[in-house]
Amino acid sequence: MSSYIFRQTDPESTVFYAWFEAMHTRIDMVWCNLMEEESVCLGNKIQEEIKRLEKMANRFDPASELAVINRLASSQPIGISEELGQILQECIGYNQKTFGVFDITIQSNNNDRNRTDHIVFDPDNQTIFFQNADIQLDLSGYIKGYALDKVKELLTAYGCCDALVSIGNSSVFAMGNHPMGSGWKVSTQYTGGALSAENKEVTLYNEFLTTSGNETEERKHIIDPATGHYVTGARAVSVITETGAIGEVLSKTLFIAPKIIPLLRPFRQVFL
């Protein structure tokens, strides 16, 4: 970890804060009522896990597993780890459930709406193959939420009951209570349909908060698969979910296509 602060507020209460950089952003984490040695160990474990996932799924790192697949899988079947294979197949499933709006092939070199149909998994040989040479996979709109799900597992394994972990302020997990109150209050923005709210502050209780959008008019980084163009305009969508990965799927989908909310309601048991 880059740095940390530990305070024992009374004989039975402690507060630990630490931060580090990974996934092209800053990760902040705070938890209560673990002793210093155990807190440092947990913080290091979280950092190791997030950096492991970054090494697996960062398409900009030529040595990452995902980058190797992007580079070679259109010429021959490429071996794939069980974990990454499961992630990719889940994301393809979410592509179908969101009517193609959530799309990990969005960085491909064509605007074919059926790109995921050209991705072939061989479970017997544990390989992946692209039937279309233009296919490129991008997990940047998913992996932060997945990482937070893994963070939750580590916090639970260490017996931590009260914690807040933020990846870049856009993907947040809250567990238990703030030392001075119930739940954890965080700031957010809501837009659109059933998710509209005037209050930009929300209290999380063992939940994930995920935000997708553009902070300014100039900011544009999310592509609409229907058009192949960036979504423009200063707005954001935030969702509260029981898992971080699903939060990433929902926030991206609703930011790109807010009118899809009524169509997603049949999948409530899948997403919410």
Structure tokens at 20: 């580090």
The counts of H helices and E strands in the chain are 7, 14
Chain-centroid distance of CA 118 in Å reads 25
Residues in the chain, how many? 272
Q: 77-108: per-residue pLDDT in tens?
A: 999 999 999 999 999 999 999 999 999 999 99
Phi, then psi, of 70 in degrees rounded to 5: -60, -35
What is the residue-level pLDDT of the chain in tens, covering all 272 positions? 768 999 998 888 999 999 999 999 999 999 999 999 999 999 999 999 999 999 999 999 999 999 999 999 999 999 999 999 999 999 999 999 999 999 999 999 877 778 999 999 999 999 999 999 999 999 999 999 999 999 999 999 999 999 999 999 999 999 999 998 899 999 875 444 334 444 478 899 999 999 998 877 788 888 888 888 889 888 888 888 999 999 999 999 999 988 766 655 543 333 33
What is the pLDDT at residue 220?
Answer: 83
- Reported as half-sphere exposure (CB side, CA atoms, 13 A), residue 14 has a value of 17
Residues 65-90: b if buried by 16+ CB within 10 A, e if exposed: bbbebbeebbeebbebeeebbebbeb
What is the pLDDT at residue 2?
Answer: 67
> DSSP string of 51-71?
HHHHHHH-TTSTTSHHHHHHH
Q: 167-185: per-residue pLDDT in tens?
A: 999 999 999 999 988 999 9
What is the pLDDT at residue 262?
Answer: 60
Q: What angle do CA 59, 240, 234 make, to 5 degrees?
A: 65
Q: What is the pTM of this model?
A: 0.90
What is the pLDDT at residue 268?
Answer: 33
- Cα separation of 225 and 114, whole Å? 10
What is the pLDDT at residue 264?
Answer: 59
